Amino acid sequence: MMGRSKTPADSRVTPCGYDAVPESEINVPLDGHRRGDLEVGKSRLVAVGAVFALAFLGVMARMGDLAIGNMTGTAHALTTVGVQSGEALRGDIRDRNGVVLATTAPMYSLTANPREIRDRESAAESLAKVLPRMSAAEIAARLDSEQGFVYLSRHLSPRQAAAAHRLALPGLSLMEQPKRLYPHGPLTSHVVGFSDIDTHGLSGIERSQDRELTNGASLDLSLDLRVQHLVAEEVAKTIEEFEAIGGAAIVLDVDSGEVLSMVSLPTFDPSAPAEADKSQRFNRASLGVYEMGSIFKLFTAAMALDSGAATLTDSFDASKPIRVGRHMIRDFKPENRWLSLPEVLVHSSNIGSARVAVALGRERQQNYLRRLGLLERAPLELPENGRPIAPSVWRDASTMTISFGHGLAVSPAQTAAAVAALVNGGYKVEPSLIKGGVSGQRQRILEEETSETMRWLMRLVVKRGTGGKSDVPGYFLGGKTGTSEKLVDGRYDRDRRMASFVGVFPMDAPRYLVLATIDEPKPQEHTFGFATGGWVAAPLVGRIVQRTAPLLGISPREDHHDLIETATTVPVALRR
């Protein structure tokens, strides 16, 4: 800091600025000679100031050179080995609103040739003063080698690299080595993925889009970080509430297939993937394949309606269980009577759904499942993409059990895309994590009339059936619950379940789909001992819709024209 100039003895300056000098003395007019002297003084002052400014800028420029690694100098100074001039840094990964999810920072690695270091102990002590998290003993151990090349410290900041350079120790070199940074850490790790120490993609988008990113191209994902945060928060709360081992959720645009949120918990820090175990790195939303339970009843109903195998007014015998080989198909809460197709969904009847599947037939069931994308991997831009597990031999029993979601395991991402096709007018949906979705001509797989009827049926399930706990006033949510027992050592375990719910809103003009699944929820006192999709996942989806809909530009409506009363494809008698 510059010191304060001393004032002459006859000065009238006080600590506050000016003393009480009469105004007449302050404003004394200057004659021409004195005015000229003053102008000359001003000019000299300006010139001197300019010289100092240029000198200051020169010093700052030199310091900048040092800070960014231009560290060549005397024979004893560190040499610099780095990225060749013009080589692009790895491109950024951003969310749909431009928020950076992954970026690359220029950093440096300090290397040594121990053969050229005469006093290794002294060098270690000097380096310990500038290297982060390393003691002199640790550095000395690395220098105690006869090799011609060893790493001392990787990913030094420009400031740390400049400090190492100033030591001017022989035998040391600085290597420019960029580092991949993930500003939002675990929040998007399963989608964004991670890279190795040399910034080569190893998982997620980092791996699938490695070539483009390596060439410096940046990538905009379909994810909305705001939505991702809210979804992750709600899934975490539900996992804790029901003492579950994990969970997943997806928010999908039902027209474009863009994935606005993909959450898998537990998660991991992409900056330190080696510290995570397999369950944390496992993407439950895309890699995990599960029997999705009664959500599949939606597909069974849509197939039957679209093919003409059944109508809304047809009834199916659900008065007693069905024996299939050594097994029995039963209902969780049996109605013990004949059920119409809407009632099969509202009461989530396994027996009724199996009867519908028999009317549909094995071949038509397979064809529709294939068209819906449920018999092959989802075309998702992730290497962590699960392959469906289908029966090796598709027997009549398979046709019945698959109708209510047992015997065919698929990923939540596949399930979400297939349900989207049921409500968007009947067009196939290819889920995408890239902003803009998948381009190309839309492929119709269901009739428009079938799609409108399915929207009515899904709204009916929420208003009058098992999905009631998902309902959010003003958003006209429709959906379906799903509960499945997990296979353990080849047998179903009743105490280990997957509780799921898929919801779409607003049901009269569908925009977004939310699917959530919770792995092994435990029955709770406040749920009266239940841990099913209706008690666990349906309320979760409702909370997600309530919190994210405003962010997506959808406000609750106050009109009372519910789809249940207005669906044109539904007989008037059934709308009441």
Per-residue pLDDT reduced to its tens digit, 343-380: 999 999 999 999 999 999 999 999 999 999 999 999 99
* Chain-centroid distance, C-alpha 480: 24
Question: What is the mean predicted confidence (pLDDT) over 84-113?
Answer: 86
Q: Name which of 358, 334, 335, 344 is nearest 312 in CA terms.
A: 344
Q: How far apart are CA 573 and CA 576, in angstroms?
A: 6
Looking at residue 178, its pLDDT comes to 87
Torsion of CA 376, 394, 247, 271, to 10 degrees: -40
Query: Is the bond into 539 cis (omega within 30 degrees of 0)?
Result: no
Q: 3-class SS at 151?
A: strand
Question: What is the mean predicted confidence (pLDDT) over 386-399?
Answer: 95
Q: Do 220 and 96 touch, CB atoms closer than 8 A?
A: yes
Q: Which residues pair with 481 in a beta bridge?
A: 501
Q: Place 159 in a pLDDT band, splitting at 50, 70 and 90.
A: confident
For the segment 405-422, what is each residue's pLDDT rounded down to a tens digit? Answer: 999 999 999 999 999 999
Question: What is the mean predicted confidence (pLDDT) over 31-50?
Answer: 43
Mean pLDDT of all residues belonging to the chain: 86
Residue 20 lies in a domain: no
Question: What is the mean predicted confidence (pLDDT) over 491-512?
Answer: 94
State phi, psi for 497 to the nearest 5 degrees: -120, 160
Q: Name which of 424, 414, 402, 401 is nearest 373 in CA terms.
A: 414
- Which of these ranges, 74-83, 244-253, 514-523, has the smallest mean pLDDT? 74-83
Question: What is the mean predicted confidence (pLDDT) over 29-55?
Answer: 43
Residues of 493-527 as b/e, b for ≥16 C-beta within 10 angstroms?
eeeebbbbbbbbbbbbebbbbbbbbbbbbebeeeb
- Decide: pTM greater than 0.95: no
Looking at residue 131, its pLDDT comes to 86
Residue 88 lies in a domain: no
Question: What is the mean predicted confidence (pLDDT) over 293-320?
Answer: 97
Contacts of 34 (CB under 8 A, 6+ apart): none
Residue 274 lies in a domain: yes
Q: Place 89 in a pLDDT band, splitting at 50, 70 and 90.
A: confident
Task: Return the higher-pLDDT residue of 77 and 78.
Answer: 78
Residue with tokens 């379909």: 222
Q: Place 315 in a pLDDT band, splitting at 50, 70 and 90.
A: very high
Task: Return the higher-pLDDT residue of 119 and 92.
Answer: 92
Question: What is the mean predicted confidence (pLDDT) over 506-534?
Answer: 96
Contacts of 72 (CB under 8 A, 6+ apart): 79, 80
State phi, psi for 413 to the nearest 5 degrees: -65, -40
Q: 3-class SS at 141?
A: helix
Residue 302 lies in a domain: yes
Residue 114 lies in a domain: no
How far is it between the farthest Cα atoms of the chain?
Answer: 120
Q: 252: which 2 tokens?
A: 């999908």
Rg from Cα positions in the chain = 34
pLDDT exceeds 60 at position 476: yes
Indicate which CATH number applies to the domain containing 395. Answer: 3.40.710.10
pLDDT exceeds 80 at position 70: no
Residue 360 lies in a domain: yes
Looking at residue 87, its pLDDT comes to 58
The yes-or-no answer on residue 294 being catalytic is yes
For the segment 128-149, what is each residue's pLDDT rounded down to a tens digit? Answer: 988 878 898 998 898 888 888 8
Percent of the chain with pLDDT over 70: 85
pLDDT exceeds 70 at position 75: no
Task: Return the higher-pLDDT residue of 553 and 492.
Answer: 553
Q: Name which of 408, 443, 403, 410 is nearest 424 in CA terms.
A: 443
Q: How far apart are CA 47 and CA 54, in angstroms?
A: 11
Residue 338 Cα distances to 304, 319, 372, angstroms: 17, 6, 29
pLDDT exceeds 50 at position 383: yes
Domain with 506 in it: 228-575
Task: Return the higher-pLDDT residue of 224 and 159.
Answer: 224
Residue 444 lies in a domain: yes
State phi, psi for 336 to the nearest 5 degrees: 55, 45
Q: How many domains does the chain have?
A: 1
Looking at residue 197, its pLDDT comes to 86
Catalytic residue selected from 189, 203, 286, 294: 294
Q: How far apart are CA 95 and CA 360, in angstroms?
A: 43
DSSP string, 399-465: HHHHTTT-S-BB-HHHHHHHHHHHHTTSB----BSBTT---S---B-S-HHHHHHHHHHHHHHHHHS
